[in-house]
Chains A and B, each alone.
Chain A
């Protein structure tokens, strides 16, 4: 298993040439660091902008030739605009299925972008530009819109992520003319994104609210405020590991600053406070039961020989809760118990494509369960090197 720093992207071939995706498994993905404001509850903050080029048909009316041209124009622009210290480009249509899934699991492309459109998705020209090694920036080309710009940060940092993406957007707009109308704003393929084209979302870890049975209330309240609540992997995905995404829905008639203020200063802090309150309540009223659940989860992770993704995510969620509440300090080889960062990384590493990349070959379901258990056990019990 390649867990050594040899896996870092410095060994990757440079730049613009199409190549298979090679994001490092453990390095990179700065949003997994487990730091930043309210990181005990807010795992990450993400901001994305939908943009289209003026004078070019949207996806449903584009011929293959249109799509090839759009991809070339966008790729040349984003790879030459000095958007980050180092960017890699990945041709999604030319990548093996496992690599595509890896990018989906890392939240660098959407499920639909991985799948592609039309009768022969392998021929559907589309790609993604990623900043490495931090993976803070991802630009999808030829998804539902010509460009989907994404910035992602650890903890509650929507403002920083917005500043990142706002600057990137300016740099791209200096070279390309966007489809825009003064009335409807940035024009997008789906009218639900028109206006600012902005989607701000936070990934929240809410085990306390699940254990106290309050989670449905939060979901309902969020829906009442016209926010979308989704699982770890976005639209249509089931919540796993007590991870929920909350994002704005409206993009027309509300400025970026307004959406940012509402989410970052009004809504998310309230949910965070509600989750912390549940945790305090569990500690005060159900301490033994809580300890038992967290330590059982730890026991499962360090002893099991077979683990499904759901099982691993469920147990990792409780262990993450234990770490953030300081209840697992005596667990594992370190003096301080496992770190938030390791738990966050494991939540990604136990996903099927990551697991197979870590092992270095394709595995069937049974083999994956065994490999998953080994990986988790090793990561949690081996002594940490500095």
Chain B
């Protein structure tokens, strides 16, 4: 059965239970009343809602009322998406929006990605050929550093598994290490072959 909000007639969707001095206090609120009383929204919320609330909560909205500010001042030069539009549905209009709104997006990205601010991972060959050598080197360095970290982590886990006599897990971790090493040596061979071809 659906429960009504403690403050109004709408359906309660946010439920909070706190225990104070051994006394259980329950609060059942609709989204609006919950928001008004400062309870953070649930993680199960659709992601666009999360962004909308987040953007509003972080005070990322322009301080100047929209009417006083020309809409185009804060628009992506390529697709003309404004930050206000983005806030509404949580979707950007084109790849260039990332550059156009970089300053406003950064805090949002950090929060959505557990503090992550820059890409670590796969690099597309074709697209990378267009971003310049310096950027390629930097991105590749990040990948290498991350891989080393991961190898260290797996080694530590492997040691622990052997200590605990969890041999099945140890075998799996060892295979994983081998795979990483194999991939590295293959990549080096490919690079060497490519450089040889170019020379």
Q: Give the B-binding residues of A (Cβ under 8 A).
A: 52, 54-61, 144, 166, 169, 173-174, 176-187, 189-192, 194-196, 198, 223, 226, 228-230, 235-236, 249-258, 261, 265
Contacts and interface: CB of A to CB of B under 8 A. Distances in A.
Given A189-B91, A255-B146, A181 B120 contact: no
Residue from A166, A230, A251 with most neighbouring chain B CB atoms (10 Å): A251
Interface string B39-72: 0000110111001000000000000000000000
A236 B46 contact: yes
A168 to B, nearest CB: 13
Given A182-B119, A265-B173, A257 B90 contact: no
Counting chain B residues whose Cβ lies within 8 A of the other chain, the interface size class is 35 or more
A182 B79 contact: no
Contacts of A252: 109, 112-113, 116-119
Nearest to A235: B46
A57 B117 contact: no
27 contacts: A61-B94, A173-B127, A174-B125, A176-B126, A181-B131, A182-B136, A182-B138, A183-B135, A191-B51, A191-B98, A191-B109, A192-B112, A194-B98, A195-B116, A195-B120, A196-B122, A226-B114, A235-B47, A249-B112, A250-B114, A250-B116, A252-B116, A253-B120, A254-B113, A255-B120, A255-B147, A257-B147
A60 B116 contact: no
B143 interface: yes
Contact of A250 (B91, B112, B130, B176): B112
A303 B105 CA distance: 57
Nearest to A269: B169
Interface string B123-159: 0111110111001101100010011001001100100
Given A253-B113, A253-B120, A255-B143, A190 B91 contact: yes
Given A58-B92, A61-B79, A256 B43 contact: no
A191 B143 CA distance: 21
A187 B95 contact: yes
Contacts of A258: 120, 146, 150
B124 A178 contact: yes
Contacts of A251: 113, 116
B172 interface: yes
Interface in B78-107: 79-81, 85, 89-95, 98-99, 105
B115 interface: yes
Contacts of A257: 121, 146-147, 150, 180
A178 B126 contact: yes
Contacts, number: 170
A258 B118 CA distance: 15
Contacts of B130: 177
Contacts of B115: 253
A186 B119 CA distance: 8
A148 to B, nearest CB: 14
B119 A195 contact: yes
A182 B120 contact: no
Given A60-B91, A196-B121, 20 more contacts: A57-B94, A61-B94, A173-B124, A173-B125, A181-B95, A181-B119, A182-B135, A191-B112, A195-B119, A223-B43, A226-B114, A235-B47, A250-B113, A250-B114, A252-B113, A253-B119, A255-B143, A256-B122, A258-B150, A265-B172
